[in-house]
Amino acid sequence: MWQVWIILAGIFVIFEMIIPTDFLIFWVGMGALVTSVTSVFIDNITAQIAIFCISSILLIFCTKPFVRKFMKNSANISTNAYSIIGKTGIVVSEIDPISGKGQIKIGNEIWSAKTNNQEKLLKGTIIKVNSIDGVKAVVSTIEESKIK
């Protein structure tokens, strides 16, 4: 019966390589490997299945914190529109809350923008991006425009 457990271990490890699951299937495969060793000494299939389940669960829960240290945490990386939150820019097209139009420039990119407090911002006003609302950047004034 130990051969079956070795084959299962191999299948689980191959599935982990094909379908990355943060080492979940890998540890199930290692549980099958542990069971293959114990099946040499224990002939009872019920005991082997119990050993397989227990060892797989223990390996998953005991090694999860260790594996998490080495995995990349992409939750801290801001991408796309959310990457501009906190940045400063300049109003390139007057932000008018009544018409819902207005654009800002941050770096080399132009973004649609609006204000939280429904104020009108003139072209040339220095702004800071506070958040993203739908497809528009929500901005606040840092420095009023010198152009009147």
| CATH for 80-143, options being 3.40.47.10, 3.20.20.150, 2.40.50.140, 3.40.190.10 | 2.40.50.140
Is-contact 33 55, C-beta < 8 A? no
Identify the helix (H) or strand (E) that includes residue 2. helix 2-18
Among candidates 65, 12, 68, which has minimal Cα distance to 35? 12
Residue predicted with more confidence, 69 or 121 = 121
Instruction: Write out the residue limits of the CATH 2.40.50.140 domain(s) in the chain.
Output: 80-143
Q: CA 78, CA 70: separation in Å to the nearest integer?
A: 20
Pair type for strands 136-143 and 109-115: parallel
Q: What does the pLDDT read at residue 135?
A: 86
pLDDT grade, residue 71 (50/70/90)?
Answer: low
